[in-house]
Amino acid sequence: KSLYQCPVCQDFGSYESCTVAKHINKIHPEQCDATPISNLDRYAQEIRDLQKKCFPNRPMKLVRPHVGNRPRERHICQICKIQVAQSDRQRHVYHRHLKQQRIFECPLCSFASNYDIHRVKWHIKWMHKDDSNREPYSHENDYKEEIDRLNERCFPGWQHRRRQFWWLDIEETDKQNVQIFYKVLKFSTIFLSPTIMHNSH
């Protein structure tokens, strides 16, 4: 069972949304703004039951119940008219309209991304394992005025609340818990996907 699926071919799935996002970028680059399909609502109760069994003394949060039955809100970019998921608006602005090739850079080599810090973090994790705790360089502040201008042109009235990890979606996987859970239920077809929740102030 896949918690996330590719919306283009629907044959590829994973228990991590970022894995499906990488698949989309690599296999369907012409539709790189597409958002992984979430099946969390379908397996929500099973996941909660398994969470209680595996981690009885550790409260965890999944997607809030009312979110699971509601379609993901989408917005139309006023520059290119592409429909974009609410959580992907900033990535869309960076990738389609900012046109800066090195917004996020690996501190250890020449690898960079023009829109997604998460890609650089995964690159560091897998290509520089001895220095996997290093953080990507971000040049967002260098282009702050242009980013704010494009945000307003693309999505009038919306101002992105910049946080250190703005790129983490509410449905992102807590990878440490996933690894523990996967070892416990190695042969199970259900995978744990506790949600990383952010505090908004």
Residue 2 covered by a domain = yes
Q: How far is CA 78 from CA 31, 88, 105, 158, 191, in A?
A: 18, 15, 29, 12, 38
Mean pLDDT by 10 residues, the chain (201 residues): 78 83 81 75 79 73 47 80 84 88 93 87 89 93 92 84 38 43 41 37 40
How many domains does the chain divide into? Answer: 1
Residue 16 covered by a domain = yes
3-state secondary structure of 46: helix
Residue 179 covered by a domain = yes
pTM to 2 decimal places: 0.48
Residue 47 covered by a domain = yes
Question: Please, which contacts does 51-59 make with residues 24 or more away whose CB atoms are closer than 8 Å?
Answer: 51/192, 51/194, 54/180, 54/181, 54/184, 54/185, 54/192, 55/177
Residue 30 covered by a domain = yes
Residue 59, domain extent: 1-63+170-201
CB atoms within 10 A of CB 120: 21
Residue 177 covered by a domain = yes
Helix residue ranges per DSSP H, 55-198: 65-68, 89-92, 117-127, 144-154, 175-184
Contact between residue 174 and residue 165 where contact means Cβ atoms under 8 Å apart: no
Q: How many residues does the chain have?
A: 201
> What integer pLDDT is reported at residue 167 of this predicted model?
36
Residue 174 covered by a domain = yes
Contact between residue 104 and residue 139 where contact means Cβ atoms under 8 Å apart: yes
Q: What's the token pair of residue 134? A: 């290093």
* Phi, psi dihedrals of residue 109, rounded to the nearest 5°: -155, -165
Query: What residue has token string 């929740």?
Result: 197
DSSP category for residue 17: H
What is the distance between the alpha carbons of residues 178 and 191, in angstroms, rounded to a whole number? 7
Residue 139 covered by a domain = no
